[in-house]
Amino acid sequence: EDQVTQSPEALRLQEGESSSLNCSYTVSGLRGLFWYRQDPGKGPEFLFTLYSAGEEKEKERLKATLTKKESFLHITAPKPEDSATYLCAVQGWGSSNTGKLIFGQGTTLQVKP
Amino acid sequence: EAQVTQNPRYLITVTGKKLTVTCSQNMNHEYMSWYRQDPGLGLRQIYYSMNVEVTDKGDVPEGYKVSRKEKRNFPLILESPSPNQTSLYFCASSPRVANTEAFFGQGTRLTVV
């Protein structure tokens, strides 16, 4: 069964304190791994798609990396506006014909000034 | 502006009273889906549609119906809502079925009493 586990559940950082969020996945053939950001009361907002081990993507202070078993979202010198819940999702070959995304529970990040 | 629009944003209803949550996208996307988000369970797919008149069940379809008569609209219908359908609902659309980012609506918070 396809499964996604994110850790930690919650993370508090001081502004400027870099850290990483983890997404471990089990899927029968990875079609794509997606990172989303969700602000309170809003829908998930797309950040990155990673397709194969070794791939990296960057956007401002965020960098996503992928191995065969997990993905990391690195946050460099975070600012308070980076506070949000970060969701990881996978799509496997088995579900590629349904378009279904399997989501993790998310990591809620709070960055204090 | 590219967007997925859901209505209503908030709804409180009574058990058994039929309701419809509307979803519309302006990006000419083929693929649309509905998710529900519950604490501790994350986002789970309810129904999806690959194109006009093509719909199928996701992981948690019981108690829900959908239709796709036009490409842009994908309403979610609860024929006889029950308290266990109290949840936060998201509509999403993607250019195609697989390997692509999903755009999410703002969400509909439904309470069934």
In whole angstroms, what is the distance from residue B68 CA to residue B18 CA? 19
- Cβ–Cβ below 8 Å for A103 and B42: yes
State the smallest CA–CA distance between residue B84 and chain A in angstroms. 20
State the smallest CA–CA distance between residue A79 and chain B in angstroms. 24
User: Residue A47's Cα: distance from chain center in Å?
Assistant: 8
Give the number of A-B residue pairs with CB atoms closer than 8 Å.
Answer: 69
* Strands B108-112 vs B10-13: parallel, antiparallel or unpaired: parallel
- Find out whether B89 and B110 touch, Cβ atoms under 8 Å: yes
> A1-5, B63-67, B72-76, B81-85: lowest mean pLDDT where?
A1-5
* pLDDT above 90 for A6: yes
- Cβ–Cβ below 8 Å for B4 and A103: no
- Specify burial of residue A68 (Cβ count, 10 A radius: 0-12, 13-18, 19+): exposed
Question: Could you report the per-residue pLDDT of A63-90, keeping only the tens digit for each?
Answer: 999 999 999 999 999 999 999 999 999 9
- Cβ–Cβ below 8 Å for B58 and A98: yes
How sure is the predictor about B99, in pLDDT bands with cuts at 50, 70 and 90?
Answer: low
> A30-34, A82-86, B108-112: lowest mean pLDDT where?
A30-34
Q: What is the pLDDT of residue B103?
A: 94
- Cβ–Cβ below 8 Å for B90 and A43: yes
**Structure tokens belonging to residue A32:** 């794509």
In whole angstroms, what is the distance from residue B93 CA to residue A14 CA? 36
Half-sphere exposure of B54 (CA within 13 A, CB side): 11
* pLDDT above 90 for B9: yes
Task: Report the candidate in A94, A4, A58 with the shortest Cα–Cα distance to residue B44.
Answer: A4
Query: Closest partner residue to A42 among B92, B101, B106, by Cβ?
Result: B106
- With CA atoms as reference, the chain B residue closest to A52 would be B99
- Cβ–Cβ below 8 Å for B50 and A99: yes
Q: What is the pLDDT of residue B96?
A: 83
